[in-house]
A and B are shown apart, each in its own frame.
Chain A
Amino acid sequence: MTRLANNRWRFAVVIVVGAALAAALIGASQVGAEQTQTGELAPAVDPPFAGIEQRGVVLGSSVAPVTLVEYADLQCPYCAQWSRETLPVLVAEYVEAGKLRIVFHGLAFIGADSDKALRTAIAAGHDDHLWDVVHGLYARQGAENSGWVTDELVREIASGVRGLDGEKLLSARWESSVEPELKRGVAAAGRAGVHSTPAFQIGRTGGRLELVEISSLGPDGIRPAIEAVLAG
């Protein structure tokens, strides 16, 4: 009887403590994922592109000496974090000064919402507003593949961008004119050897681009690479 009770006690301890440990990990995972996806890790910023030249997938002057290519999935939380924390700093320090142009190559590997969001951004690029829409999508990024890229969301983002028509955008994203840029992004990522997002290439404009290993998602993670190309 004592032996049976003792063994039951041991198994009970294992189950209770094991379940408590797992529950703590699961809770932390849920909290972390929600923070990442709702942008609570860093506050969203106002669109930083007012007065900055946008042409198709390019942000900044076409004659800027340095080109930075960003590979991103619009559902990728780390891409959104980079967009919130680092892009505004790069725009203020380099793009506005005419030193840097940034090219957006979208990928859609996370799921259906990635594809819908990317098509929307590319369609906006036909009106030279891709970066405004990318910023708007990142700022409102929802849980992965939850159906967050709704028509209402697209209309809301478009309504905040002068010169962009929400209804036109909703239909344009499914037109064949979007396909070439979708394919260009995938092909460029393949050539560059990009396997995850966000990923970056940098080089002199018109010259050879090299993949950049960023040390962090903050501005200091990529600033040395920009400075090195500017100095070279």
Chain B
Amino acid sequence: MSEHTVRLASAVIAAVGAAVTAYLLYVRQAGGALVCSTGGCETVQSSAYAEVLGVPVAALGLVGFLGLFLAALARGEWARLSQATLALAALLFSAYLLYIQLVVIGATCEWCLASDALTATIVALALLRLRLGEARPRVT
């Protein structure tokens, strides 16, 4: 798989993630009901953990996915490192939020789980990209 293909796949997945988090943020701000088959979405969204110091987690997710989208489109070493770093941070924070849902709140939100799966996929792709873009030995 070429780095170009990995970048393209990452950008598409990040765009889907941005759409998911934008939907969560829109419903939260509009005060509507989430489409939710697990029944736990409202519980999670009404939880004290739905915000980080006043900022909705969905807004953080949207910013994160947009950052991953831009990093996927950009070329070069800084883009590779930025994408991998941001993706890893997002995955660790997602793992923490998943723990909160399962253990503290006792409810899960399927949109959050979808976002977690997308994040995990982007991490795998970002690490693959980092590997594909490994620095070549200099020929002197």
Contact = CB atoms under 8 A, between A and B. Distances in A.
Interface string B8-42: 00000000000000000000000111100000001
Residue among B42, B130, B138 with the highest chain A CB neighbour number at 10 A: B42
Given A3-B137, A22-B89, A144-B104, A29 B42 contact: no
Interface string A12-23: 011101110111
A23 B135 CA distance: 29
Given A109-B42, A144-B104, A213-B31, A36 B48 contact: yes
Contacts of B47: 77, 110, 144
A10 B87 CA distance: 15
B60 interface: yes
A28 interface: yes
Given A3-B136, A195-B32, A197-B46, A143 B92 contact: no
A28 B52 CA distance: 6
Given A77-B48, A144-B105, A110 B89 contact: no
B104 A17 contact: no
A160 interface: no
A6 interface: yes
B49 A10 contact: no
B53 A31 contact: yes
Given A10-B130, A26-B93, A145-B104, A33 B43 contact: no
Interface in B97-140: 97, 100, 104-107, 130, 134-138
The secondary-structure label for the interface of chain B is: helix
Contact of A15 (B88, B96, B105, B107): B88
A33 B134 contact: no
Given A25-B52, A36-B48, A196-B46, A11 B130 contact: yes
Nearest to B57: A29
B106 A145 contact: yes
B81 interface: yes
Contact of A196 (B42, B92, B135): B42
B48 A37 contact: yes
Contacts of A195: 32-34, 42
Contacts of B93: 22, 25-26
A19 B31 contact: no
Contacts of A199: 31
Contacts of A213: 31
Given A10-B135, A13-B81, A78-B46, 14 more contacts: A7-B134, A22-B92, A22-B93, A23-B92, A25-B93, A29-B97, A31-B53, A33-B48, A77-B48, A110-B47, A144-B48, A196-B46, A197-B46, A213-B31
Interface of B: 31-34, 42-43, 45-49, 51-54, 57, 60, 81, 84-93, 96-97, 100, 104-107, 130, 134-138
